[in-house]
Structure 1
Amino acid sequence: MGLTRARIAVDAMGGDHAPSEIVAGAVRAQAELDADVLLVGDPQQINESLKRHSSAANIQVISADGVIEMHEEPLSGIRRKPRASINVAMDLVKQGQADAVVSAGHSGAAMAAALLRLGRLRGIDRPAIGAVLPTMMAKPVLVLDVGANVDCRPKFLEQFALMGKVYSEYVLGTPNPKVGLLNIGEEPTKGNDLAVRAHQMLEDNPQIPFVGNAEGRDVLSGNFDVVVCDGFVGNVLLKFAEAIGEVMLQTMREELPQGLNGKLGVALLKPNLRRIKQRIDHAEHGGGLLLGVAGVCIISHGSSQAPSIFNAIRMAKEAVDHRVLQRIQSQFEPTKAVASEGQASLSRSTEQSEGNE
């Protein structure tokens, strides 16, 4: 399964709390995960942050100049700053010096850099960002796309479903994952033109374990393992789900009893509260995997702190170890082979018809 020790390039300058929180998460990952972390960015700032950690001796620092700011237009930013931290991190993967990239910086810049420097996997028209959300059945659901593509064609959703199936099965450990299409009703004829046409394509593809439409209330039910949608709807859904998690955590803090009895009660409930936080706090999942590019790329929240960065690096390592890229690519090879075989058969039939005339 993958490399014995994955090498993860981390954009140390990206995010609201860079580089201190990024470095802290990376140091923990280096210590606890079977992975090597490469911190990419301003060496002076990174080394200042590393001095605060006693276990940071083995972390490699890769020099980069500048960062793509949040107000910058992604494409022009990465072109004007070829040595920006996200560009250098992507180049490390392209050159085989790293196996994956983690960034909490400008998500548009991260996606643009991945596309320009790594390219798409064969057969993929558009990459998608997949987000892992908790469900009522104590198992996760993968939602994609959650922001890479505001406008989609039906075939994009079909490709998202294939990529999501692979990730759910091999990384999230879901046997025979059930795929759903986010829609406003269960019936195949419900929804806009995109939903109706995508439903038919998903239903007709034997590679996709499609079980039908998923309404908004179904996403977190646990009845689906993968839910596909366009990036506009997916991003709204993701941010709403994150807000719900934050509201629940805040409500629990406010409603826990006060005083000595309250403290004793909290002490008894601590293991349960920790498990609840792990299930509903988006920081526990690290970020979203950019599926469809020719390299493992995790896009974390801009507000990510050390725990989220640690989990993003863990997510990247799992994707590398489970050979997600190779498995996704294999899903599109049979389609090409069948198409080629069909074309060859058609040519033979045409030749025979012409010979009989």
Structure 2
Amino acid sequence: MTFPRIAVDAMGGDEGVRVMVEGAAIARREHEKFKFLLVGDQPRIEKALSAHPGMRDASEILHCEDVISGDEQPSKAIRRAKTTSMGLAVNAVKQGDAGAAVSAGNTGALMAMSKIALRTMPGIDRPALAALLPTLEAHDVVMLDLGANTEADARNLVQFAVMGAAYSRIVNGFERPSVRLLNIGTEEIKGTDALRDAAAFLSDAVASKDGGLALDFDGFVESDKINRGETHVVVTDGFSGNIALKAIEGSARFVTDLLKQAFTSSIRSKIGFLVSKPATELLRHHLDPNNHNGAVFLGLNGVVVKSHGSATAKGVAHAVAVAARLLEDQLTQRIANDLAELGEDALRTNSNGAS
């Protein structure tokens, strides 16, 4: 089977071309059927490819010197979509020259370009940014929206739940992922009207479809339980989701920095570190963002994956591998099938619960 190639914005990210090309090369070792369209400055890409002969044979270069800066306003960036490496990578998906685009550049610009170029799928009002977060269990938790939409009504949250469940089935292998809405409490009376309406709708939809909708809705979850592994998908609006994500990332850095200080504070502490090094290495590996890199814009007519700007080659490889898996398992078609299962009439719910 021939898979569509993956367009890589080779100019995005803090480290630039070398890391983006190396990451793609690492990912291809496990997804060797994929080919790549590398978008960026050709001489620099050629130099980076010289260290990865196998990758060179599987890649085409689309020369482009113009780059979207990290602090550029999305409204300005979209005007240069046809001349920048990020815009050309996304446009390759629109034109059918690639099945997915991967960029480590400006998140807001990438979101804006992707929405304009690819548009939302039928039945989806707004795309959502989804990412994998580590948990205490063997699986990661899918969380969305993480910043694409500052507000979301009940209809949006229901659509996010459907998309998040489809994503979880691919990346975690769950046939019926457990889905919960992020709230300030688990009681049914807690939260905004939009949250309560979405919860009631999802409960009725799962029950009325006799299990046809491929998810289990388990009510609300509080933010301190996101990483416990008790649920597979956490759904919220982009404002709350982004705050929760930053708090989780900050807590992880706090814990690792605190441990580092504690283990270097005295000779006895240093000896203790040597004794406990296997455990601390496991902790470091678990909290390393490169092992969970690759946020996905769900709900578009095409796959777009956002790599963290500071990601290492290993992190970029993870993001590219996410794109490959979503193409292999036909994420867009899965979401379309689930929306059809849900039914268009059922989706006519607004934030006030009216039909």
Cross-structure match for 2:187: 187
Cross-structure match for 2:240: 233
Q: Which amino acid aligns with 2:333?
A: Q
Q: Which amino acid aligns with 1:299?
A: K
Query: Would you say the 8 A contact 2:3–2:327 is kept in 1?
Result: no
Look up the SS of the partner of 1:131 in the other structure: strand
Structure 1 residue 249: deviation in Å?
3.3
Structure 1 residue 237: deviation in Å?
1.0
Cross-structure match for 2:42: 43
Alignment of 1:202-213 (within 5 A): 202-206=202-206, 207=213, 208-213=215-220
Cross-structure match for 1:244: 251
Q: Structure 1 stretch 273-282 or stretch 80-89: which is displaced more?
A: 273-282
CA distance in 1, matches of 2:80, 2:329: 35
Structure 2 gaps, min length 5: 207-212, 347-355
Query: Would you say the 8 A contact 1:169–1:177 is kept in 2?
Result: yes
CA distance in 1, matches of 2:190, 2:273: 49
CA deviation vs aligned residue, 1:227-275 (integer Å, no higher than 9, x gap): 100001101111221222233333444455798x9699759955x5554
Query: Would you say the 8 A contact 1:245–1:282 is kept in 2?
Result: no
Which structure would you say has the larger Rg?
A: 1
Query: Would you say the 8 A contact 1:6–1:321 is kept in 2?
Result: no
Q: Considering only aligned residues, what root-mean-square deviation do their CA atoms show, in Å?
A: 2.7
CA deviation vs aligned residue, 1:109-159 (integer Å, no higher than 9, x gap): 111111111111110000101111111223211110011101111110000
| Alignment CA distance shift 1:263-1:318 (3 Å) | farther
CA distance in 1, matches of 2:78, 2:320: 23
Query: Scaled by the length of structure 2, what TM-score is found?
Result: 0.86
Moved over 6 A (4+): 261-265
Q: Which amino acid aligns with 2:137?
A: M
| Alignment CA distance shift 1:266-1:329 (3 Å) | farther
CA distance in 2, matches of 1:251, 1:319: 37
Query: Scaled by the length of structure 1, what TM-score is found?
Result: 0.85
Cross-structure match for 2:156: 156
CA distance in 1, matches of 2:170, 2:80: 38
| Equivalent residue pairs, number | 337
| Alignment CA distance shift 1:97-1:263 (3 Å) | farther
CA distance in 2, matches of 1:254, 1:76: 43
Query: Would you say the 8 A contact 2:25–2:55 is kept in 1?
Result: yes
Structure 1 residue 226: deviation in Å?
0.5
Structure 1 gaps, min length 5: 340-357
Structure 1 residue 221: deviation in Å?
1.4
CA deviation vs aligned residue, 1:81-119 (integer Å, no higher than 9, x gap): 412111111122122221111111011111111111111
Indicate the percent of aligned positions where both proteins have the same amino acid.
Answer: 36
Q: Which amino acid aligns with 1:200?
A: A
CA distance in 2, matches of 1:313, 1:286: 9
Q: Which amino acid aligns with 2:132?
A: V
Cross-structure match for 2:351: none
